[in-house]
Structures are given as C-alpha cells and as structure tokens.
Amino acid sequence: MVPIKRFRWGASNRTVLFGTGQTGTMNRYAPELALITGGVLGVAFGGFVLIALGEFYSAAVVFALCSYPFAAYAVRTDDDPTTMLPPRAVTAVAAIAAVGTMVDSLRLFGTSVETLLMSSVLAVGIFIPVAAYATSYGEPPAWLSPRLLEASCSLLAVGLLVASVASAAIWGAVTAVIVFIAGALYGNRSTKPTTQRSRRWQWPVGGFVVAAGLLAGGLAVGGSLDRWMVGALASIFGPLIAVALTTSPEKSHT
C-alpha cells in the first residue's frame, strides 16, 4: 500500500503525487481562480454593456470594476504574479483601454474641454492601478527615468488644473491630483534618501505657489471664486498627500 502523507496547511502547502513519491506546491488562496473569475465577470458584464449600449467607455469602466478587485487579490496572494499578468503586456492593454475611453467619450458627448476632463478621470482610473502594479513587479523601460516621469506628471497636473479652472469642471482638479501623486510616487522610489527628504518640502511649497497664483488670477478676473478655490485646494492637497504616502513612519527604539 502507498502511505498517505499528511498535508500541512499554510500559504504554500505541500501536495503529494500519490504513487510517485513526488511533491509539489499549492497555494491555498487560489490566485489563478480569482483572476479567471474576475476576467469572466469583466468580459461578461463589459461585453453586455458594449453590445447593449454601444459605448466602449462604459464597457471599459464596467470591466475594470468587475476584474480589478479579483486581480488585486491574485497579485496580493500569488508568490509571482508576473507569470499570470506580464507587467508590460497588461500596461499596454490598460493604456489602449484608457485612450479608447477618452476617444469614445469625445465621440459620444462632443469635443469639448469638459468632456475631455471628465473622460480623463475614467482614463486614469483604468490605467493607474495597472501602472502601479507594473512598477512594483516589473522593470520599467530604460528610457522612462523617474525624474522625467515625475516632471512630466507635474506639468500635466498643472495643465489639468488650469483647464479645470478655465472650464469650471471639477473633474480636471481630481485628475490633476491623481496624476501628480502617481508621478511623485514613481519618482520617489528611485531617488536617494537625501533627495527624497528635500522633495517632501519642495512639493508643498510648489503647491502653495500654484494655489497663490490661481487665487491671484481669480481676484484679478473677478466674479465667483469657487472654481479658483477648487483648483487652489487641489494644488495644496495633492502635494500633501504625496508627502504622506512617501514618508515612512520612524521606528521607535526601546
């Protein structure tokens, strides 16, 4: 008779191939099953929305809402999620979906600054989570230096703030905050500790300068200051959130 070996339950379990004496590993969290479940749900509901409404941007958002939680669970529990989700491949797909979302929104609602800013929120919501995964588990391209991306995101955030104030669309301010934080986090991961500390006070100072400029512009133009206040608050809280996310709590010594 072949002896039966006991299983030891844990994050990674030993399985026995009965009759051969060989052993392997099994993850009791089943990240592959979670990923397949999310993909099936995303394709099913997203495909239904695409066929029923003919709106690619709605289908992309529904797919992200259905599949991203399962993908996050799979990434969190798998020892090597890159075998299931190649970082560069999924980033390219997410980028195409984000651009398609903006293009389809402009097609449906007309070419305007308000539509562009509204669709930008959906686009970053689709792309940023995948880009965060790719930077954590993959190797970014050599030409994509942290300083270049951080500077580009900062300039894009300022442009979004200006467009948000000019069009009185709050969506631009929301996108600006997300874009700035994403660029700050990526730039902070590859810099020296001394540079990181200097950036943590440079970001808020720059945010207050932009906020002061926006408020001065609002006073000079006259009228309601609501849209100018929204832009100023976004320029202040964006850097402060970035500082909070990049500051590690100091360990107390006993």
What's the rounded Cα separation, in Å, for the pair 211 and 177? Answer: 13
Confidence at residue 13, expressed as pLDDT on a 0 to 100 scale: 44
**What is the secondary structure of 148-170 as a DSSP string?**
HHHHHHHHHHHHHHHHHHHHT-H
| pLDDT greater at residue 66 or residue 21 | 66
Phi, psi of 55 (to 5 degrees): -115, 110
Domain boundaries, the chain: 31-139, 147-246
| pLDDT greater at residue 94 or residue 206 | 94
What's the rounded Cα separation, in Å, for the pair 114 and 170? Answer: 9
Task: Tell me the pLDDT of the chain averaged across its residues.
Answer: 82
Buried residues in 187-210 as b, exposed as e (16+ CB within 10 A): bbeebeeeebeebbeebbebbeeb
Q: How many CB atoms are closer than 10 A to CB 130?
A: 22
- Asked whether the predicted pLDDT for residue 17 surpasses 60, the reply is no
Mean per-residue pLDDT for 150-172? 88
Confidence at residue 72, expressed as pLDDT on a 0 to 100 scale: 92
What's the rounded Cα separation, in Å, for the pair 91 and 77? Answer: 20
User: Which SS3 state, helix, strand or coil, does residue 34 take?
Assistant: helix
- Asked whether the predicted pLDDT for residue 26 surpasses 60, the reply is no
What's the rounded Cα separation, in Å, for the pair 63 and 47? Answer: 8
Which range has the worst mean pLDDT, 41-55, 116-130, 179-193?
179-193
Confidence of residue 94 (pLDDT cuts 50, 70, 90): very high
Confidence at residue 223, expressed as pLDDT on a 0 to 100 scale: 77
| pLDDT greater at residue 11 or residue 63 | 63
- Asked whether the predicted pLDDT for residue 200 surpasses 80, the reply is no
What's the rounded Cα separation, in Å, for the pair 24 and 60? Answer: 38
* Whether 173 contacts 130, CB under 8 Å: no
